[in-house]
Amino acid sequence: MIGWGWIIQSGYWINAGGVDGSILAFILGGVMVSVVGLIYGELASAMPYVGGEHVYSLRALGPLGSFVCTWALVLGYVGVVVFEVVALPSALAYIVPGFSAIQLWTIAGQPVYATWVFVGGVGAIVMTLLNYRGVRPAAQFQTLLTVIIGLAGITLIIGAVVNGTSSSTPPFSGVEAGGIFTVAIMTPFMFVGFDVIPQAAGEADVSPRTLGLIIPVAVGVAALFYIAVIWASGQSMSGSQLVESPLPAAAAMETLFDSLLIGRIMALAGIAGILTSWNSFLLGASRAVYALAESGMVPEPLSEIHPEHKTPKNALLLIGGLSVFSPLFGEQMLIWIVNASGFGLVLAWVLVVVSFFVLRRREPEMDRPLKLPYGRALGALAFVLTVFFVGLYLPGAPSALSWPFEWGIVFFWTFLGASMYAFSGTAATHGQSRTEDSES
């Protein structure tokens, strides 16, 4: 959950919601995700199988409900991949003088540079090919880079405590509810990853009850981290100044320590974080698409495994191919994909909560090692919070998704999913494994 997004997005948050408003937004998002995490905890302890949401929703809601849930979740995963494709040239623009060269066109008032398109596109091709061939960094290496990102955040916080000044960002200065909600709809994207815990449940060497408790604790720690780095960034300069930098957190670090070198070091740590998140979510998204194909919910070719590398080759090519085009939309894509993907994630969480209610009623005798006390009340709270968040994205809300770009992403993803579901077989075969040995 604590990836690299905060390094590039913190300036936008503070500019839109102010320091205090952004902190309130992350508290709101953290509470929502924590309650949903408790729901995940019970479901993961009862069904500790690889597949997570796909398993829960298929058992509770049937093939169509499961497809909507999983496809919405995949939008969140693909969103991370697209984010990293655009974030890579953004990070390089902070490090390499004159990197932004050869302007191609302007989208939403932001110039699109040929150098950005080239670096992002080549990066997408290389990462897709590495995953296609089954080349992955060791788990220890990914853990090390995650620790480095965490240490960068802690260093930023220390710098704010020692050298920061609160005069940079007066409390709630010029901030309205719309600004707070604008930040709030970005928080689900920042918490994406907690759902990976139940997806790996079948391989976890912990008791089901402990597994269920890990989820809300992890969400709480992530929320506290984000709140701390927002506060720290706000002690360096104003949101309007931060948002002008390609890498706001690195600019904040540079200001707090009065050191260009420290800012560059954070940028390099950010690039490492980009590569690890990129790899992880490309892997996760391709596996989710493979699971849908293997269950007869999207066309069968997407379930094909490479005979030598044992990777879901066509699923990887689909996701990698889509991500190659994202740099053509410029740096503004970083905002659009966060918001559109957040909508998909929250929609998936609504359906997970509905699955929780259905299974509580339909299968009361199911073994639930972590059976939530006051389960109905917690489920109702989770439902209200997630539906409230869905409403924040809809037309009429001050933080509604923008037209045509953010809604365009959602409509494109909906059309793509509906088309593949329709052409994947008859209704009778949806949800049925295409392999004889497959378990749910």
Report whether pLDDT(292) > 60: yes
How distant, in Å, are the alpha carbons of 42, 43, 71, 109, 141 from that of 215? Answer: 10, 11, 22, 40, 23
Confidence of residue 430 (pLDDT cuts 50, 70, 90): low
Q: Which two tokens stand for residue 89?
A: 């040239």
The pTM of the full predicted model, rounded to 2 decimals, is 0.86
Report whether pLDDT(152) > 90: no
Amino acid 165: pLDDT: 75
The domain spans of the chain are: 5-422
Which residues contact residue 22 at a Cβ distance below 8 angstroms, ignoring those fewer than 6 apart? 13, 14, 16, 180, 183, 230
Report whether pLDDT(340) > 80: yes
Report whether pLDDT(440) > 50: no
Tell me the C-alpha distance between 77 and 67, whole Å: 15
Percent of the chain having pLDDT more than 70? 87
Q: Answer whether 282's CB lies under 8 Å from 127's CB.
A: yes
Tell me the C-alpha distance between 88 and 405, whole Å: 21
Report whether pLDDT(434) > 60: no
Task: Provide mean pLDDT across the span 203-211.
Answer: 62
Task: Provide mean pLDDT across the span 114-130.
Answer: 93
Which fold, 5-422? Amino acid/polyamine transporter I (1.20.1740)
Amino acid 68: pLDDT: 95
DSSP-assigned states of every residue in 282-341: HHHHHHHHHHHHHTTSS-GGGG---TTT-S-HHHHHHHHHHHHTGGGG-TTHHHHHHHHH
Confidence of residue 438 (pLDDT cuts 50, 70, 90): very low
Rg (CA), the chain: 21
Which residues contact residue 403 at a Cβ distance below 8 angstroms, ignoring those fewer than 6 apart? none
Q: What share of the chain is helix, strand, coil (3-state, %, to 5)?
A: 70, 0, 25
Amino acid 119: pLDDT: 94
The listed range with the strongest mean pLDDT (124-138, 161-175, 394-408) is: 394-408
15 vs 360, residue with greater confidence:
360
Confidence of residue 276 (pLDDT cuts 50, 70, 90): confident
Mean pLDDT taken over the chain? 84
> Which phi and psi angles does 107 have, rounded to 5°?
-125, 125
Amino acid 437: pLDDT: 42
Report whether pLDDT(24) > 90: yes
Amino acid 353: pLDDT: 96
Output the CA torsion 295→298→303→304 (10° steps): 150
> Which phi and psi angles does 113 have, rounded to 5°?
-105, 145
120 vs 195, residue with greater confidence:
120
273 vs 355, residue with greater confidence:
355
Report whether pLDDT(308) > 80: yes
